[in-house]
Amino acid sequence: MILGGMQRPAAESPGLRLINMSTAYRDSQLVYVATKLGVADALTDGPRSAADIARAVGASSEALERVLRGLYLLGVFDQLEDGRFAQTDASELLTARATAGVREAVILWGQEQFRAWADLLKTVTTGEPAFRQLFGDPFDYYDHQRETGEMFDAFMEAGARQLAGIILNCDLPASGTIVDIAGGEGRALATILQALPHARGLLLERPPVAEKARVILRAEGVIDRAVVVAGDCRESAPRGGDVYVLMRVLHDWDDRSAGAIISAIARAMQPASRLLVVQRLMPERLTRDPQHALVVDSDLMQMVYNGGRERTLEEYRELMHSAGLVVHQSMNFFGGMSVIEARLAL
C-alpha cells in the first residue's frame, strides 16, 4: 500500500510524488486544527502532555494526541522523551502574540479557502470562482463574519509595512499627497506618512474598513495629515493626488473590474500625477524558479477566490492603455514584487 501525507522519502518515485501531492491536504488540516484550537498558546509556559493540552483547548485527549504526533513528524511541535509536547520556532508563529500573519493565514486557508479549493473542479469547468459560489462576495463576507473578518484584516495588514517600504523606494514627493486606493486599515499609508513628515495622505476604502482605518491612522499619529474616504474604487477615486498607489489590489479582480479601477484613478489624476501598482508579475515564460512558483500559486488563489488573476507586464500595459495611461517604467523589488509606474497619456 502506498501511503501519502507525511511520508517523505529522500528519492520519491513519480507515483509516490503524485500520491504525496494528492494527500498534502492532510498536513494542512493538521496545522489548521492545532492553530484553530490554540495549541501553540497552550504551550507558551512550557511542555505539556496531550491530556493537559486537550483540557486547556477543549478537545478530545486521544484525538488531539494523534494530531500532535502527526505535527511532531512535520516539525511543527516537538515531543520530549517523557511524551510531553513542546514549542518549536515554527509553532511560535502560530501563537496569538505572533505578528507575522502566519497564524491568521493558516486559519483562513484552513476554513473557507479550504472549502473553496475543494470545489476547484467546479471553478475550472464553469469559470466561476468557487469562493463566490459558496459564500458570495468575499469582501462582503469578511465584513459580516466578525472573527474570520478580523483574521482576514490581520493577515492583510501583516505585509502592509513591507509594501510601504517598496513604495518609499519609488521617489515619492516629500510634501505631496499620497492616495492609497483600497488601502485596507491604513497601516501602509501610516508607514509612508511617518517616513515623509511633510506629506499628506488620502485613503479610499469600503465603508466598514474605512472606519477601522481612521482608528489605525489616529493610533499611528498621522490622522492630522490623513483623510479617509469611504467608497468603491471601481467607481471613483479622490482627486488631487500627486501619487496614487495600488498595493496588491488589481490581482483581486478580473480584467473588467481591474480596468474600472484604473479608469477611475485616471479620471482623478492631474497631468503630473503618477500611479504606482505593486504586484507580482506573471513571467512571459515559466520556469521552475521559486519566484515563479509564488506568482502561479497566487494566480490560482485569485482564480478560486474572486475571479482575479496575476498578469504579465504586457497585460498591465494593455489595461493602462485602455484607461488612457502609459507605463513609464517597471521596477523589481525584494520578495519578487514589482512596481509598475504609469502616467497619463498626454
Active site residues: 251
**What are the residues whose beta carbons fall under 8 Å from the beta carbon of 175, sequence distance 6 or more?**
196, 198, 199
What are the C-alpha distances in Å from 129 to residues 83, 151, 279, 301? 44, 21, 21, 10
Instruction: Write the CA distances from 88 to 130, 137, 337, integer angstroms.
Output: 35, 37, 30
Task: Report how far apart, in Å, the C-alpha atoms of 121 and of each of 5, 118, 127, 130, 303 are.
Answer: 22, 8, 10, 9, 12
Shortest CA distance to 245 belongs to which of 225, 266, 274?
274
Smallest CA-to-CA distance from 342 within 181, 110, 121 is with: 181
Q: Supply angle C-alpha 271, 213, 204, rounded to 5.
A: 30
Task: Give the bridge partners for 338, in sequence order.
Answer: 279, 332
Cell 479549493 belongs to 117
Task: Return contacts of 93-97, CB within 8 angstroms, 24+ apart.
Answer: 94/31, 94/34, 94/35, 94/39, 94/40, 95/40, 95/41, 95/44, 96/38, 96/41
Q: How far apart are the first and last CA of the chain?
A: 67
Residue pair 329/162 in contact (Cβ under 8 Å)? The answer is no
Distance between CA atoms of residues 273 and 181, nearest Å = 14
Please give the Cα distance from 197 to 199 (Å, whole number).
6
- Whole-angstrom Cα distance, residue 247 to residue 324? 20
Cβ pair 86, 92 in contact under 8 A: no
Coil, helix or strand at residue 170: coil
